[in-house]
Structure 1
Amino acid sequence: MPGQPDLPDPAHADVDSMLSRKFGREVANYFSGSPLNRVSFLRADHGFISKAITHPSTSFLLLNDLAPLTSDPSHLAYANHDDVRKLIGNNPFEKTEQEMISAYNSSITLPLVLFLGLDETKKDGFEHGIYSGTPFFAIDVTPKGSVEKEAQSVIEEMKKRGLAFAEGRLNMTLNAPEAAIFAQARALTDWNARNPFCGGCGQPTLSINAGTKRVCPPTDIASLPTVQGGATTTEATPRQREACVTRKGISNLSFPRTDPTVIMAVVSHDGKRVLLGRQKRWPPHWYSTLAGFCEPAESVEEAVRREVWEESGVLLGRVVIHSTQPWPYPANLMIGAIGQALPDGEKIHLEHDPELEDAKWVEIDEIEEALRVGTSGLGEAAGSEYKEGGLRLPPATAIANQLLRAVVGGFLDAGETSKI
């Protein structure tokens, strides 16, 4: 079993600034810190995207049923253009977006191709104006629809090379930079797979903007049966699709969603204990910080207070944001916070929301010891110094771990420099 990967480096950690002196350096969590410049404004640039997809240096991350292609548990593996040509063709972006929409055919399965960004540290000859670097794309090679045979062929070829698609719910053994690349690719692939139909009219949608938008085309050239005058006919020319609300107003687009989620380390009013909870499905002695989804028209601070009260009955006063973590299962942004209980609000009761099996206040020194010897991924063994029956906590790749380290590290200490 590989060891836990390093976390991404904080941005500009070596640069002195007023904010870093006041609040400490930025905290970077696992799944963040991508080495790629997304250059998102170039996704709709037909000249750029067409040149990038066919360049000899371009790297393609393949996902089969959301599992990434890997060379080992710590490293992704990449295909080149020749490897995927049989699936995506020479240039899937040969047509402009408007031409793709006009030629839309709902009976043809187009492989999903996502532009992820440029690795500007690698100068392999690709240039577009002032931008240069190695282009990175992701391709959904899940066998399905009219390209099932081609996709299966690509998968088998990768397996012949000794590569593997890393299956499982979590891929948290990847090195930090590639974990961030995978997180972006997985979240976008999953979103496209979950949105094959328009939310406005229910008709099939088309992926555009290099995989980051979906459109409801006004016409369809598929040979689909339609009813005219009581008789079924097959149209050979593009037919007008049913009216759709997305074709009115500002835009005819559907964008990827990200669901904000709060996760919080809750300290007692005297700062000497931390509130932890556990779910029934977790292994024995395993606890973590509380978490929950933000609701519409609710601030992050309000969501933290509400979720803590609903799950544990504890009432919070001051709430501060610590750091955030992308969580691509399927598309969450974990907003890490630290909250402090009110002096008369520390009583625990689980009668509101039955989500937790247990919740308890834990002394700081017990948490500190558990962070030292009792962390691991779910289902994995703790450190060699762990004694059975001791507290178990999430690994460093989880933002819950980082929040608890901030608490035991003295973020509550008075002074000019914060340790958050």
Structure 2
Amino acid sequence: MPIPDLPTLDHHDEDSMLSRKFGREVANYLSGSPLNRLSFLRTEHDFLQSAFSHPSAAFLLMNNLGPLTKDDPTHLAFATNADVVPLTGATPFAKTEADLINDYDSRETHPVILFLGLDDKHRLPSHDAAPAAPAGTEPFAYRTYKGVPYFAVDVTARGENAEAANAVIAAMKAKGFTFQDSSPRHMALHAGQAAMYGQARALLDWNARNPFCAQCGQPTLSVHAGTKRVCPPTDKASGTPQPRAPCATRGTVSNLSFPRTDPTVIMAVVSADGTRILLGRQKRWPKDWYSTLAGFQEPGESIEEAVRREVWEESGVTVGRVVLHSSQPWPFPASLMIGAVAQALPGDGETIFLGNDAELESAKWFPLAEVEEALVKGVSNLGEKAPEGHVEGNLRLPPQTAIANRLITAVVEGWGAAPKI
């Protein structure tokens, strides 16, 4: 599988107080979207409809959360408005959010349409960008906002829309495009497009997992350009609006109606003398394949506390100082990986004990030199063979698209010592 590139940031070369003290900011794979999300415009149906209908609008199609790609898995393929209208209709954003709620009919099935954002600074190179609009087309503009609108559409065949969805899928395949597997093991997209896919995958998956209200159990409706679900007070399923059962979400602000993000700590643990890294492995992983430790952050717990707790529970090692390094959105389905570098306390603090939690099959302290060699000769995805040059029995590590790799690399390169600009 091709090795994906990693995102870069506009301000990487900026000379600032923080950069001089802490070094350059790290942008991990699945971050660094080239789009301006314009989240404050998701409630403005005029904006959404005009963007949806514009000839330059580009549509990322997703089938069972797998993205449409070109003839290789490194480039997304984008559909046009004409391609999706048979499924979505020509005016999916014609109504206000209030009207959508008032006209709710539980018999109807509508494909989820996400507004991803505008490419307002032309960050996407031509080979990755949307199909060219017809000659003479005026660029999309709404108030002071200008750029190419990008949407994502769920074309998974469901309910009454199954026939139309299958027709769209067939039309895309007839053009030579392919729907990729949605597993992270098969991710090869270029950096900016990977971030766009990650945004779409997380939101479409959330919509699919939450068809019913968590408060009252009644069906919900996707609004706010796919980033909010509401529990309507009435239903037209009988022909005229009929009151639905009461629900605590109506009339109050409830975060249960918004997408969830699960904070997850992931940490490279360094020995007290800074010469070794603690790595662990699960039984299901390939032979000799190790990674950093990780776990979900719990309610009422700081990031630093979560790092210390997870390291101790999984490995028995006691951590002192914790420093945040970088983060990575991980839409499989809804995690935010919060990367840290932590240092074990000397003496008994470095003792490994796996009896607290049965998650790990093994945990070991690896010398930095051994880890450095593995970064050169032992990096691969979980489902891939060891790379050329790897010697059986030597350490294997996650790929550079995983924040675990970036944390390990940072330690090996001396992150935390003198800042590098």
TM-score (norm 1): 0.94
Instruction: Report SS of the residue matched to 2:404.
Output: helix
Q: Distance in 1 between matches of 2:384 and 2:202?
A: 25
Name whichever of 397-406 and 9-18 sits farther off: 9-18
> Residue by residue, what CA displacement relative to the aligned partner does 1:1-36 show, whole Å, maximum 9, x if unpaired?
3x2111001340111001000000000000000000
| CA RMSD, 1 decimal | 1.4
Instruction: Give the alignment of 1:284-303 within 5 angstroms.
Output: 284-303=287-306
1:376 aligns with 2:375: no
SS state at 2:79 partner? coil
- The question of whether the paired residues in 2 share the 8 Å contact of 1:124 and 1:133 is answered with no
Deviations 1:84-135 (A, max 9, x none): 1110000101111111100000111011000000001349610001000000
Query: Secondary structure at 1:193's aligned position in 2?
Result: helix
Q: Identify the residue that residue 117 of structure 1 maps to in structure 2.
A: 117
Partner residue in 1 for 2:154: 140
Residue aligned with 2:309, SS: helix
Please give the secondary structure, in 1, of the residue aligned with 2:78. Answer: coil
Q: Which residue of 2 aligns with 1:207?
A: 222
Q: Does residue 1:238 correspond to 2:241, yes or no?
A: yes
Name the CA distance, whole Å, in 2 between partners of 1:298 and 1:251.
Answer: 22
Question: Partner of 1:13 in structure 2?
Answer: 12
Secondary structure of 1:182 counterpart: helix
Q: In the alignment, what sits opposite 2:322?
A: 319
Cα offset, 1:168, TM superposition: 4.3
Give the Å deviation of 1:50. 1.0
| Whole-Å separation in 2 of the counterparts to 1:320 and 1:419 | 17
Residue in 2 aligned with 1:279? 282
Question: Is the 2:73–2:188 contact (alpha carbons within 8 Å) kept by the matching residues of 1?
Answer: yes
Given residue 285 of structure 1, which amino acid in structure 2 is its aligned partner?
D
Q: CA contact under 8 A between 2:65 and 2:182: conserved in structure 1?
A: no
Equivalent in the alignment of 1:176: 191
User: Is 1:221 aligned to 2:236, yes or no?
Assistant: yes
1:197-229 per-position Cα deviation (integer Å, ceiling 9, x unaligned):
001100000011000000000000013xxxxxx
Q: Which residue of 2 aligns with 1:131?
A: 145
Change (3 A) 1:108 1:16: same
1:393 aligned counterpart, secondary structure: coil
In structure 2, C-alpha distance between the alignment counterparts of 1:249 and 1:87, rounded to whole Å? 33
SS at 1:384 equivalent: coil
| 2:167 matches 1:167 | no
**Is there any run of 5+ residues in structure 1 with no aligned partner, and where?**
224-235
Name the CA distance, whole Å, in 2 between partners of 1:47 and 1:6.
37
Change (3 A) 1:112 1:367: same
Aligned to 1:149: 163
| CA distance in structure 2 between the partners assigned to 1:410 and 1:237 by the alignment | 68
- In the aligned structure 2, how far is the partner of 1:251 from the partner of 1:350? 40
What is the match of residue 233 of structure 1?
A: none
Partner SS state of residue 376, structure 1: coil
Q: Secondary structure at the match of 2:301?
A: coil
Deviation of the 1:412 alpha carbon: 4.2
State the alpha-carbon separation in 1 of the partners of residues 345 and 179 from structure 2: 48
- The alpha carbon displacement at 1:382 in A equals 3.0
Q: CA deviation at 1:185?
A: 0.2
**What is the aligned partner in structure 2 of residue 366 from structure 1?**
370
Identity %: 63
Separation (CA, whole Å) in 2 of partners of 1:244 and 1:291: 37
Tell me the equivalent position of 1:230: none
Q: How far, CA to CA, are the matches of 1:333 and 1:124 in structure 2? A: 38
Q: CA deviation at 1:411?
A: 2.1
Rounded Cα–Cα distance in structure 1 between residues aligned with 2:222 and 2:333: 18
2:53 maps to what in 1? Answer: 54
TM-score by length of 2: 0.94
Aligned to 1:267: 270
Superposed CA offset, 1:297-356 (max 9, x none)? 000000000000000000000000000000010010000000000013110010001000
Structure 2, gaps ≥5 residues long: 123-136
Letter matched to residue 211 of structure 1: G
Runs of 4+ in 1 over 4 A off after TM superposition: none
Q: Which residue in 2 is equivalent to 1:38?
A: 37
Q: 1:190 aligns with which of 205, 219, 229?
A: 205
Cα distance, 1:385 vs. partner?
1.9
1:347 lines up with 2:351 in the alignment: yes
SS of structure 1 residue aligned to 2:253: coil
Cα distance between partner residues in 2 of 1:251 and 1:311: 35
Q: Contact 1:222–1:238 (CA<8 Å) still a contact in 2?
A: yes
2:167 partner letter: S
Separation (CA, whole Å) in 2 of partners of 1:168 and 1:54: 28
Conservation of the 8 A alpha-carbon contact between 1:216 and 1:252: no
Q: Distance in 2 between matches of 1:250 and 1:348?
A: 46
